[in-house]
Homo-oligomer: A and B are copies of this chain.
Amino acid sequence: MTESGAIHARIRRDIEARIMSGEWAPGTRIPYEHQLMATYGCSRMTVNRALRMLMEAGLIESRRRAGTFVSHPRVQRAALEIPDIRDEVAGQGESYRLDLDRREIRAASEEDKRLLQIDGGSVLALECRHHAGGRAYALERRLINLAAVPEAAEVDFAIEPPGSWLLSHVPWTEAEHRITAFNAGGKELVALGISAGAACMALERWTWRGEERITYARQVYPGDRYALVARFRP
């Protein structure tokens, strides 16, 4: 088939093509490694490398002694980009502006403790509005666990949006998103300039580093102006 590049890449492409075309359906046993060695005239290590990559990609699974099989596709996985709102707005060719409405360092309240899963300590609480081309784009409420990120207390978030700063300064190991739709109430009406009851999208995010929660963010977008888009490959 293809002739370009390394042998392992070629083996990988060939097998992937056979699976994608449906020629090798889910559950099918693919040839044994020693058969692929013969087919491609290469060593087992090279075959194994190609198969290992396909395994990491989730296309195949193998069982010792039994062989290697085409996976039954399961959950779909989408590459959802963690939106840096400033970049997102700039990418649409609009001018970006940030209004910081509130900045407070306080001892963790009951709600803060629940959202950040901490027993005490102090948190940095922020409320801000993101504007695109002069119009309100999103409303953001954020909590930062100062025990995990003490240096955040010194940052001027009126200049750099908290999401942008955290993304580029704090490494994280795990995160969770929760996306919901709700009818706008008192708070959002003025801040986003929308009418009562208008549908809004809320994007909540919790971010961990190891066992420790770093930050909680809740971003609210007007439903008629915003769509969350994720494009991906399996």
Binding site for B on A (CB under 8 A): 19-22, 26, 53, 56, 72-84, 167-168, 170-183, 197-201, 209-210, 221, 223-224, 226-234
Contact B84 A230 (CB under 8 A): no
Contact B197 A183 (CB under 8 A): yes
Contact A76 B81 (CB under 8 A): yes
The listed residue (B83, B170, B174, B229) touching A178 by CB distance below 8 A is B229
Contacts A178-B228, A180-B226, A199-B223 hold; do A173 and B234 have CB atoms under 8 A apart? yes
Contact A175 B228 (CB under 8 A): no
Contacts A76-B175, A233-B173 hold; do A198 and B183 have CB atoms under 8 A apart? yes
Q: CB-CB < 8 A to A182: which residues of B? A: 181, 199, 223-224
Copy number in the complex reads 2
Contacts A81-B75, A232-B174 hold; do A183 and B20 have CB atoms under 8 A apart? no
Give the docked Cα–Cα distance between A221 and B201 (Å): 13
Contacts A179-B228, A231-B174 hold; do A168 and B78 have CB atoms under 8 A apart? no
CB distance from A78 to the nearest CB of B (A): 4
- Chain B: CB-nearest residue to A70: B171
Q: CB-CB < 8 A to A168: which residues of B? A: 26, 72-73
Give the docked Cα–Cα distance between A178 and B22 (Å): 27
Give the docked Cα–Cα distance between A21 and B212 (Å): 12
Give the docked Cα–Cα distance between A200 and B79 (Å): 23
Q: CB-CB < 8 A to A226: which residues of B? A: 180-181
Contact B77 A81 (CB under 8 A): yes
CB distance from A51 to the nearest CB of B (A): 14
Contact A180 B201 (CB under 8 A): yes
CB distance from A166 to the nearest CB of B (A): 10
Q: CB-CB < 8 A to A78: which residues of B? A: 79-82, 175, 177
